[in-house]
Amino acid sequence: MMRSLYSAISGLKNHQVKMDVIGNNISNVNTTGFKRSRVSFSTMLSQNLKGASAPTPNQGGTNTVQVGLGVMLGSIDQIMTQGSSQSTGNATDMMLQGSGYFVLNNNGQQVYTRAGGFGQDSAGTLIDPATGAKVQGYSWGADDTTPVVWGAASDIRFKIGDKLATDSFFPIPEETKTYTPAAASNAAAIAVGLENLTIDGLTRVPIGTTPASGQFSYDPSTGDLNFSSGISTTNALTYHYIPMSGVSPNTETSIDITAGDNTALVDYPPLAGATVYNGTKAYTLSTSDTPGDLEYTIKEVNGQYQITFGTDGATPPIATVATATISYDFTNKAHTLTDYSIDQSGVITGVYSNGVDSVTHKIAQIAVASFANEAGLANIGGNFLSTSNNSGAPSIGAAGEDGRASIVSNTVEMSNVDLSTEFTDMIVTQRGFQANSRVITVSDTLLEELINLKR
């Protein structure tokens, strides 16, 4: 039989494969993070009709005489060029700008993807919504200063309403005590600094107001209580307050103050505009950066709050002693997650609010993997890729470092399929298939003529 028949058949088969690849590219034109493929052909073995001869002093050399036996599939290559961006406005959507892949745990198998249209499940775990595969990353320390540990990546879990780790002791339960006046009296004295004091059955009125029946006033700087007339030893009073320590909840703790510096670090800030008591001295919030006489300022320092006191009406300043008991009214609510953002390095930063003030805290950092030969990754479906013998081992770490892609949030990467290229390739493939089928037709005609020689 004629060799041309089988050469043409190989052409038909491989052009069909190319058409299959083109069809797959076009079908994924709107698949997030999809990378198009291309087909390369290579020649099959050729049949030698005559070998080459070397030149001699009297005769020149001759070339090999060969007949090709058709075409075979050389490779199907993934084209890993960057796709266009599509803005979504969804905070958990991410796009990789450059070379790299998100790392996911798909039912125990580590997989990689460029499709960053992520969401969260009911537990707050960052996932791929289509499969439930969990996005991998690294957690930050609770104090926002402990760096991530670049070991094995783990699941990322957070959700709106999460309590700030450093506020775990909030709300601080109020303490309840009883007080029985020694004799019929309209005045008493209890602890200093109980700004949030309440008494069962009585209404608190401002200092300087004469309490009427069923009312009381309280001065936090002296601990003095004033009542209407009629309080007696038979009237045990039940009062409630939230401990106002600047160091730890439920205790009245002395705080070290550096002599001559007048500053103290506390774990939670005074309520906006609250009076701060240093012992029995009452300090009000300064309207400037420098506190004046009996004034204080406050600023955040590495997750704590620094209170700076002014003078106490005389010189030298109050901090000539080693310690002082500081108390104040504060927001007795934990900061909870109200919003978050993701930066170019993959750090998820949360905004936590207690209704009075807001603080930020780094929650986690998304892991990004890079490969020596990313085109060698194997497609396993679901927009997922896995390593192969020729992809190389993943280098996993922070986005934007060591050649890894950076992250663009609120955006996903579109497919890199170009329809104009695909349709042009389709025309070329169609004509190649058509030409090979014509070779079969012509070869069949030649065979028919050969058979007709017997007639």
pLDDT of residue 248: 37
CA distances from 247 to 119, 167, 185, 220, 262 (A): 39, 12, 36, 19, 16
What's the pLDDT at 416?
Answer: 94
**pLDDT value at residue 316:** 45
d(CA 177, CA 51): 111
Q: Which two tokens stand for residue 100?
A: 């790299």
CB 172 within 8 A of CB 243: yes
pLDDT at 408: 95
Q: Give DSSP secondary structure letters for 229-246.
A: EEE-TT-PEEEEE----S
Peptide bond into 211 cis (omega under 30): no
Span of 85-99, 249-263, 403-417, 431-445 with lowest mean pLDDT: 249-263
The 10s digit of each residue's pLDDT in 101-117 is 999 999 999 999 999 99
Domain ranges for the chain: 3-81+416-454, 85-166+338-413, 175-241, 254-328
Query: What is the model's pLDDT at position 325?
Result: 66
- CA-based nearest residue to 83, from 125, 108, 117, 107: 117
In the predicted model, what is the mean pLDDT of residues 335-343?
A: 93
Q: Is the pLDDT of residue 435 over 90?
A: yes
Quickly state the pLDDT bin for 188 (edges 50, 70, 90): confident
Q: What is the pTM of this model?
A: 0.74
Q: What is the mean pLDDT of residues 342-346?
A: 93
| pLDDT score for 254 | 45
pLDDT digits (tens, 9 = 90+) for 298-322: 888 876 788 888 887 665 454 444 4
For the chain, what is the mean pLDDT? 85
Could you read off the pLDDT of 213-241 as tens digits, one per residue?
888 998 887 788 888 876 665 677 888 88
Mean pLDDT of 145-173: 78
Helices (H) and strands (E) in the chain — how many of each? 2, 35
Q: What is the pLDDT of residue 171?
A: 84
Least confident of 42-56, 279-293, 314-328: 314-328
The segment with the largest mean pLDDT, out of 31-35, 299-303, 328-332, is 31-35
Q: Which residue has the higher pLDDT, 53 or 251?
A: 53
Task: Give the per-residue pLDDT at 230.
Answer: 61
CB contact at 8 A, 160 and 209: no
Strand ranges, E, within 28-162: 37-43, 46-50, 65-68, 71-78, 85-87, 94-97, 101-106, 109-113, 119-120, 126-127, 134-139, 154-155
Q: Is residue 425 scored above 50 in pLDDT?
A: yes
Q: Considering only residues 172 and 100, tell me which one the structure prediction assigns the higher pLDDT.
A: 100
DSSP secondary structure code for residue 414 in this structure:
P
Residue-wise pLDDT tens digits, 119-149: 999 999 999 999 999 999 988 766 565 555 5
Average pLDDT over every residue of 278-293: 85
Indicate the pLDDT class of residue 455, thresholds 50, 70 and 90: low
Cβ pair 385, 112 in contact under 8 A: yes
